Chains A and B, each alone.
Chain A
Amino acid sequence: MIALTNLTKRYGRLVAVDRLNIAVAKGEIFGFIGPNGAGKTTTIRMMAGVLNPTEGAVLIGGVAMASDPVAAKRVIGFIPDRPFLYEKLTGMEFMRFSADLYGVGNGIFQKKAEGLLIQFSLYDWADQLIEAYSHGMKQRLVIASALLHDPRVIIVDEPMVGLDPAGIRMVKDLLRELAGKGTTIFMSTHTLEIAEDLCDRIGIIHRGRLVALGTTGDLRGTARLIEGDLEEVFLRLTGKETP
Chain B
Amino acid sequence: MNDLGVLLRPRLLSFKNGSASQTAGSRRIRYLLFTGMGLAFWVGAFLIFYRVLTYFQGVEEFGDILARKLLSMVLLTFFSLLLFSSTVTSLSKLYLSRDLMLVHSMPVSGGKIFLARWLESIVDSSWMVILFSLPVFLSYGIVYQAGPFFYMTAGMALLPLCVIASALSALAVVVAAVLLPAGRIRTVFVFFGLLMIIALILVFRLMRPERLVNPETFATLVLYLREMGAPGSPLLPITWALDSLNAALSGFKGEAIFHLALAWSCAAALSFVLIRIAGKIYSLGYTKAQTTVTRLFPLRAGLSGNRHRFFERFSGPAWAFAVKEFRIFFRDQTQWPQLFLIAALILIYLYNFSVLPLGHTAIQTIYLQNLFAFLNMGLAAFVLTAIAARFVYPAVSCEGDAFWIVRSAPLSLRAFLWVKFTVYFLPLLLLSEILIVSSNILLQVTPFMMVLSVVTVFLMVPGVVALGVGLGAAYPDFRSENPAQSVTSFGGLLFMLLAAGFIAVVIVLEAGPVYAVLMAGFRGRSLSGLQLVWLVVSFTLVLVLCILAVILPMRFGERRLAG
Interface residues of A (CB under 8 A from B): 45, 48-52, 69-71, 73-74, 76, 78, 80, 82, 84-86, 88-90, 92-93, 95-103, 105-106, 109-110, 113, 126-127, 129, 131-132
Structural contact, A74 and B410, CB atoms closer than 8 A = yes
> Can you list 28 A-B contacts (CB < 8 A)?
A45-B404, A50-B407, A50-B408, A51-B407, A52-B562, A69-B412, A73-B408, A80-B404, A84-B400, A85-B405, A86-B328, A88-B327, A90-B304, A93-B304, A97-B320, A97-B323, A97-B324, A100-B315, A100-B316, A100-B320, A101-B321, A101-B409, A101-B410, A106-B307, A109-B305, A110-B305, A126-B305, A127-B299
Instruction: Tell me if B299 and A48 are in contact (CB < 8 A).
Output: no
Count chain B residues whose beta carbon lies closer than 8 angstroms to a beta carbon of A: 36
User: Which A residues are in CB contact (< 8 Å) with B319?
Assistant: 100
Q: Are A101 and B317 in contact (CB under 8 A)?
A: yes
Is B407 in contact with A89, judged by CB distance below 8 angstroms? no
Q: In the complex, which residue of chain B has the Cβ closest to the Cβ of A102?
A: B410
Q: Is B293 an interface residue (CB 8 A)?
A: yes
Please determine whether B410 and A92 come into contact, CB atoms closer than 8 angstroms. no
Tell whether, in the assembled complex, residue B412 and residue A70 are in contact, meaning their CB atoms are under 8 Å apart. yes
Is there a chain A Cβ closer than 8 Å to B524's Cβ? no
Minimum CB–CB distance from A115 to chain B (whole Å) comes to 13
Contact count A vs B, C-beta below 8 Å: 101
- List the B residue with the shortest CB-CB distance to A98: B320
Would you give the shortest CB distance from B321 to chain A, in whole angstroms? 8
Q: Determine the distance from Cα of A48 to Cα of B404 in the docked complex, in whole angstroms.
A: 9
Query: What 18 additional pairs, Cβ within 8 angstroms, besides A70-B410, A78-B408, A106-B312?
Result: A50-B408, A52-B563, A71-B410, A82-B401, A84-B400, A85-B405, A90-B304, A93-B304, A93-B327, A95-B305, A96-B320, A97-B324, A105-B315, A110-B305, A127-B303, A129-B299, A129-B331, A132-B292
Closest to B332 in A: A88
Is the pair B305, A113 in contact by a Cβ cutoff of 8 Å?
yes
Closest-by-CB residue of A relative to B315 is A100
Q: Which residues does chain B contribute within 8 Å of A95, judged by CB atoms?
A: 305
Distance in angstroms from A66 CB to nearest chain B CB is: 11
Partner of B407 from A49, A92, A96 at Cβ < 8 Å: A49
Q: Are B316's CB and A126's CB within 8 A?
A: no
Distance in angstroms between the alpha carbons of A186 and B409 in the assembled complex: 18
Query: Does B411 sit within 8 A of A, measured CB to CB?
Result: yes
B2 / chain A contacts, CB cutoff of 8 Å? none
Minimal Cβ-Cβ distance residue in A for B402: A84
CA distance A51 to B403 in the complex (A): 12
Q: What are the residues of chain A within 8 A of B302 when measuring CB–CB?
A: 127
Q: Find chain B residues with CB under 8 A from A96 CB.
A: 305, 307, 320
Q: Is B528 an interface residue (CB 8 A)?
A: no
B316 touches A103 (CB 8 A): yes
| CB–CB B317/A100 < 8 A | yes
Give the complex CA separation of A49 and B324 in angstroms: 21
Give the contacts of B287-325 with A (CB-CB under 8 A).
292-293, 295, 299, 302-307, 312, 315-317, 319-321, 323-324
Tell me the minimal C-beta distance from B426 to chain A in angstroms: 20
**Once bound together, how far apart are the Cα atoms of A76 and B409, in whole Å?**
9
Roughly how many angstroms separate A132 CA and B182 CA in the complex, as a whole number? 13
- Which A-B residue pairs are the 7 nearest by beta carbons? A100-B320, A92-B305, A84-B401, A50-B407, A74-B410, A73-B410, A88-B331
The reply to whether B305 and A84 contact each other, CB–CB distance below 8 Å, is no
B329 and chain A: residue at smallest CB distance: A88
* Chain A residues in 8 Å Cβ range of B323: 97, 100
Q: CB-CB < 8 A to A84: which residues of B?
A: 400-402, 404
A143 to B303, CA, bound (A): 20
Known: A50-B407, A101-B317. A86 touches B305 (CB 8 A): no
Instruction: Tell me if B305 and A50 are in contact (CB < 8 A).
Output: no
Residues of B within 8 A of A76 (CB): 408
Find chain B residues with CB under 8 A from A88 CB: 327-328, 331-332
Question: Which A residues lie within 8 Å of B331 (CB)?
Answer: 88, 129
> How distant is the Cα of A86 from the Cα of B320 in the complex, in angstroms?
13
Q: Which residue of B lies closest to A132 (CB)?
A: B292
Q: How far is the CA of A36 from the CA of B485 in the complex (A)?
A: 34
Q: List, in ascending order, chain B residues with CB within 8 A of A69's CB.
A: 410, 412
